[in-house]
Structure 1
């Protein structure tokens, strides 16, 4: 009776094991078993199909052949530590892999620690392809970045637009008030810009605006903030700069622009600039004061800087 009972138990165990193997082989997700050395001991059809290899091409090979070169050492160490450890389940991880054609895919891998016929541990790994999901996430990220760029940037020059620029000016005014730091701004406008558009066309006029603002950015400090107020009028915020330093900076800008030639038409351009410094005791808007100074520069003939 005892022998018969043991025989039934053995048959049940054998049948269960065979069914488990059949489930693994026919599972719709990629599954592999690697030995303590990290070599493939079993791969199912879905795993082979995903990577483009036959079963014979994989068995006995090290699993790292599928991993992007930059990740091979780290994932090999992780495999070895998992094999030697006590945990029966490894943390789910996302990684990049390469198929037989060299194409890169992103997968989520989850592993379990099992025991082989020889009593030694094995790693059973399930993989799920999330390449399309990652690509969709990247497209959505790029689209959101583009929307954010359009909301805050001038499409022609790439500078902050009026709304974002004035918001930044308000933040800098609050910072200046709180910490007592100097804050200057400058408004500059291209002299006789209408004549450029009338002579060369609006396309060339747009090129002039792009090239002029690029030159201004190269002339100023990296901490200065340039934005387009509208048309050919621009605002520069100069944190921690007093009136005299701001005036000298804008004189360098005027000189650099007057000395340059713009677009393939070699157009000569000058600008008029008004400078104002933030002071809590002066209630008149700093923008109005800079704007008034800029118009006085124009009335004086242009190509100059006037301080409010």
Structure 2
């Protein structure tokens, strides 16, 4: 028994205990020890500094106080399960915590089971602040999402851009051919749009493009796809719609745009459209027919819809 051992052994053990405590206190990462009931039994200065509490404010309090209230029951259950288990170490976890001032931080934790002088198990938890890394990861993720979005969408209107739009058309053509469903497309552009840019400036022109596309999307079905090909030129893909019904749909679009005043300047805008129905053909031929029909609409006086002749 240690009680009958040489006094030097007691001194060595006491010195080891003090050294261990000093190491914990001097450690640059936050360390806490919680008792079997989940209350703080020891916290080092780094732990206190991280959370913004004094040692006195933490000792004797439930460790769950540093977690958002919605997660506290879960964290307490995990704490109890760990102490009741037989694993000496807890798997590394990434957690969200709150400082005394309410600031949200992100940490990585690791923990170990320790046996106290009373024979009961304690949990020693080590925390590392990864808040800045987490914020950087979120910014990088947002930037990547933004790049992906811009690769497929027009930045001004939020519509699919030309490349993504033509890919979507290829998909719809393949589906139409496979299931023998009708498919139509419409190409349209805004009449005399250059004059608007020249007279009122490109910022007003941009406002009109945004407002017109919003108006067009109000009229189209949810299954229709509106694409900005470039400038003031647009493409509409209409799955399961034949040319006659596509013409009627574009007439509704044309009429709605013509009857609407755009921007605070209350400017009148019209569009000319060409419609083409799909018969076994390539994307290029289908768009070419729609483009020629749109040109005919322009040549016929603008503000109208023309259906391409059968392919």
After TM superposition, is the score higher than 0.5?
yes
1:55-109 CA distance string (max 9 Å, x none): 1110001111111223222212211221222222222111111112111110011
1:203 maps to which residue?
203
Contact 2:193 2:232 in 1 (8 A): yes
Q: Deviations over 1:121-151 (max 9, x none)?
A: 1111110000000111111112222222332
- In structure 1, distance between residues paired with 2:231 and 2:282: 29
Residues 184 and 241 in structure 2, CA contact (< 8 A), matched pair in contact too: yes
User: What is the DSSP-based 3-state SS (H/G/I as helix, E as strand, rest coil) of the residue aligned with 1:97?
Assistant: strand
Where 2:301 maps in the other structure, the secondary structure is coil
Partner of 2:262: helix, strand, or coil? Answer: coil
1:142 counterpart residue number: 142
Return the offset for 1:163.
1.9
Q: Determine if the alignment matches structure 1 residue 262 to structure 2 residue 266.
A: no
TM-score normalised to structure 1 length:
0.92
Moved more, 180-189 or 95-104: 180-189
State the SS of the aligned residue for 1:90.
strand
Unaligned runs of 5+ in 1: none
Root mean square deviation, CA, Å: 2.1
Q: Which residue of 1 aligns with 2:16?
A: 16
* Corresponding position of 1:99: 99
Asked if structure 1 preserves the Cα contact closer than 8 Å seen for 2:169 and 2:283, the reply is no
| Counterpart in the other structure of 2:273 | 273
TM-score, normalised via structure 2 length: 0.91
Identify which range, 81-90 or 227-236, moves more after superposition: 81-90
Q: Give the drift of 1:202.
A: 2.4
SS at match of 1:285: helix
Aligned equivalents of 1:140 and 1:110: distance in 2?
A: 26
Which residue of structure 2 lines up, in the alignment, with residue 111 of structure 1?
111
1:154 matched to 2:154? The reply is yes
> Which has the larger displacement, 158-167 or 51-60?
158-167
Cα distance in 2, alignment partners of residues 6 and 282 from structure 1:
96
Count, aligned residues: 307
